[in-house]
Amino acid sequence: MYEDKVLKCKDCGEDFVFTAGEQEFYAERGFQNEPQRCKKCRDLRKSSGKPQREMFKTTCARCGKEANVPFQPSNDRPVYCSECYAAMKQ
């Protein structure tokens, strides 16, 4: 039914593929227009209005590696790197 289309990004001028699956998704949602920007430029545009999240360096309480976390760590609770936190959740 749908076939991949090659479109040109209006921001960077690069060609990108508007896949058959994406076209089907657009049709299901009732979108009339094709995308005008490639994924990279869409992501840049979405994130440009958001303030950068401040990250804090700390040491993982489990493995001792350096970890970046999006909150100010306090000394009364342990902080884990993403790998150790994911392992503990399982």
Domain ranges of the chain: 5-48, 56-89
Q: Within a 10 A sphere around the Cβ of 11, how many other Cβ atoms?
A: 13
pLDDT tens track for 18-59? 999 999 999 999 999 999 999 999 999 988 877 878 999 999
What is d(CA 14, CA 43) in angstroms, rounded to the nearest whole number? 15
Residue 22's pLDDT is 96
| Mean pLDDT rounded to a whole number for the chain | 93
